[in-house]
Amino acid sequence: MANTNQAGVKRVERPLSPHLQIYRPQLTSFTSILTRITGNALIVGVALAVWWLLAAAVSPAYFAVANAVCTSWFGDLVFTGSAWAVWYHYLAGLRHLYFDAGKGLDVATAEKLGWGVIIGSVVLTVLTIVIV
Amino acid sequence: MRYITARKRAIGKGSAHTGTEHHWSMTVSAVALAFLVPTWVYVFGHALGQDYDTVRATFARPFPSILTAMVLVVGMRHFAKGATMMIEDYARGTARKLCIIAAYSISSVIVATGLYALVKIAL
**A-interface mutation test, from B43, B52, B90, most A Cβ less than 10 A away:** B52
Q: B34 in a domain, yes or no?
A: yes
Q: B9 in a domain, yes or no?
A: no
A131 chain-B contacts, CB cut-off 8 A = 42, 45
* pLDDT of amino acid A50: 97
Rounded Cα gap, residues B28 and B78, in angstroms: 9
For chain A, domains (ranges, CATH) are 25-131 (1.20.1300.10)
Please judge whether A93 and B34 are an interchain contact, meaning their C-beta atoms are less than 8 angstroms apart: yes
Find the angle CA(B61)-CA(B67)-CA(A132) to the nearest 5 degrees: 85
Rounded Cα gap, residues A54 and A56, in angstroms: 5
* pLDDT of amino acid A119: 94
Q: B111 in a domain, yes or no?
A: yes
- Cβ proximity of B62 and B71 under 8 Å: no
Q: B72 in a domain, yes or no?
A: yes
Q: Which one-letter DSSP state was computed for residue A24?
A: P
User: Whole domain around residue B111: which residue ranges?
Assistant: 19-122
Closest CB to A94 among B15, B34, B44: B34
Grouping H, G, I as helix, E, B as strand and the rest as coil, residue A10 is strand
Query: Using one digit for the tens of pLDDT, what is the confidence trace for B5-46?
Result: 888 887 777 766 666 788 899 999 999 999 999 999 999 999
Q: B3 in a domain, yes or no?
A: no
Q: B4 in a domain, yes or no?
A: no
Q: B10 in a domain, yes or no?
A: no
In angstroms, how far is the first alpha carbon of chain A from the final one? 55
A132 chain-B contacts, CB cut-off 8 A = 41-42, 45-46
Mean pLDDT for A102-125 is 92
Rounded Cα gap, residues B35 and B39, in angstroms: 7
Rounded Cα gap, residues A97 and A120, in angstroms: 17
Q: B5 in a domain, yes or no?
A: no
CATH number for the domain harbouring residue B24: 1.20.1300
- Please state the ipTM of this predicted complex: 0.85
Mean pLDDT for A53-60 is 95
Grouping H, G, I as helix, E, B as strand and the rest as coil, residue A3 is strand
Could you give the number of structural domains in chain B? Answer: 1
